[in-house]
Amino acid sequence: MPQAPRRRVRSGLIAAVTALALCLGAWLLHQGTETHGPPQPSAAQAASAHPGTGHEPPGAAPLSSSPPDRIRIPSIRVDAPLMGLGLTPQGSLDVPPPQEKNLAGWYEAGTAPGVRGTAVVAGHVDNADGPAVFYDLGALTKGRTIEVDRRDGSVAVFTVDAVEVYDASAFPDKKVYGAADRPELRVITCGGGYSKQTGYRGNVVVFAHLTGSR
Amino acid sequence: MRTSRLLNAAALAAAAAALTAAPAYAGSGGLEVYPANATAGATVTVNTTACGAARTAAGDASAVGAGTFVLAPGTHAKDAEGRFQVPPSAQPGTYEIVAKCSGGGQVTGDLIVALTSSSDQVPPKGHVKTGVGGALGTDPAKTAAGVAALAVAAAGGTWLLHRRARGEGI
């Protein structure tokens, strides 16, 4: 039978394709049905026990007061306008409207970024449609820069000192919002695990200090 | 008769244009005052986009005793910006700051003079609600592709088993 070898080749080919499709299908199904969340900071990004003793770049002189307009974090491709934020009736920081996915806010009644003290910026990690402005904030690492465009035309440049994640029930108010004797910045979004009942369990907080301006 | 009707139509059109133009002119934001809460002696920045292309205006902060000042094109597109200093003798209270656009129209904003500085402002407390879990979804495209690949595998497997059952060997 001269056709037998050809058939054998065809069968072998089909067997190979079948095996390949089986593996590929299993892998795709696994990837597709797995719930994946925003990146979270590793323990290595936490604040060092003795601040100032590490390789932290020296601080820059405080800038004069001017409201911020825009925040840029090039390493995680953030480039978003900033709106003024107030407080909720409960005293927590209000948030930008969630439907605006590329919009962050700053605490207007507090310190402006670049001025001596602690300036606070917050933005959504996601909204009902998917990732939002600070989705990748948890992937930010020490030493990276954050730039804030200010209305007086200057750009305040901050360097990241730490990226930490806190449970909502144990949020360190003083550490995050407390006064500072140099220009500092906090960038906050949701994080710390997610459950259907309670939503995100806490916040990712980026700590940075002013290291330059232009 | 025809002329007057034409004139009427022209007047109506002009009125309609004025009506639609007016809100766009005056309605594109008031006078933004920063900081809205200031202490006596502080420098206050005001800006507005309401002055249109001219981007200049005459500012009036005499309500708080700071006299007049000039708003000039700011760093932002369509922005007119100006500054004044709250007099050290200013009393706590709410004051209306006025800017008269050089092209006509005026905008106002409120300045609150407080006893304590903004650094004494209440800081926020607690965590921030900045997510709803919308990014946590599964990937429907990958799932569909996986189902398709498994269907191909099933078809191939069935064909092979069928051949084998017929004794044709693999």
pLDDT above 50 for A166: yes
Is residue A13 domain-shared with residue A101, that is, in the same domain?
Answer: no
A68 part of contact set with chain B, CB < 8 Å: no
Is residue A84 domain-shared with residue A6, that is, in the same domain?
Answer: no
Fill in the DSSP letter of residue A171: -
**Nearest CA to CA, how far is A162 from chain B (Å)?**
18
CB A148 within 8 A of CB A155: yes
| Residue B24 binned pLDDT confidence (cut-offs 50, 70, 90) | very low
CB B34 within 8 A of CB A67: yes
What is the CATH number for A191? 2.40.260.10
Quick one: which H or E segment has residue B111? strand B106-114
Q: Which CATH class is domain B28-115?
A: mainly beta
Q: What percent of chain A has pLDDT over 70?
A: 94
For A177, the closest of B81, B123, B160 (CB atoms) is B123
Which residues are bridge partners to A81 per DSSP? A70
pLDDT above 90 for A162: yes
Is residue A11 domain-shared with residue A87, that is, in the same domain?
Answer: no
Is residue A188 domain-shared with residue A144, that is, in the same domain?
Answer: yes
Amino acid identity of residue B150, one-letter, is L
> How many structural domains is chain A composed of?
2
Per the structure, the complete domain to which residue A68 belongs is given by: 43-213
Average pLDDT estimate for A74-103: 93
Which residues are bridge partners to A208 per DSSP? A160, A185
How far, in Å, CA of A131 to CA of A137, rounded?
11
Kindly list the residues from chain B whose CB atom is less than 8 angstroms away from the CB atom of residue A66.
34, 45
For A21, the closest of B76, B156, B160 (CB atoms) is B156
Q: In Å, how far from its chain's centre is CA A167?
A: 16
Higher pLDDT, A175 or B120: A175
CB A173 within 8 A of CB B115: no
Is residue A56 domain-shared with residue A142, that is, in the same domain?
Answer: yes
Is residue A30 domain-shared with residue A61, that is, in the same domain?
Answer: no
Is residue A99 domain-shared with residue A177, that is, in the same domain?
Answer: yes
Q: If you average pLDDT over every residue of chain B, what do you get? A: 78
**pLDDT tens across A6-65, in order?**
778 888 888 899 999 999 988 888 877 777 788 899 888 988 765 555 567 888 999 988
A120 part of contact set with chain B, CB < 8 Å: yes
B157 part of contact set with chain A, CB < 8 Å: yes
pLDDT above 70 for A140: yes
Is residue A12 domain-shared with residue A100, that is, in the same domain?
Answer: no
Domain boundary assignment for chain B:
28-115, 143-170
For A25, the closest of B47, B138, B146 (CB atoms) is B146
Higher pLDDT, A201 or B118: A201
Q: What is the pTM of this model?
A: 0.64
pLDDT above 60 for B21: no
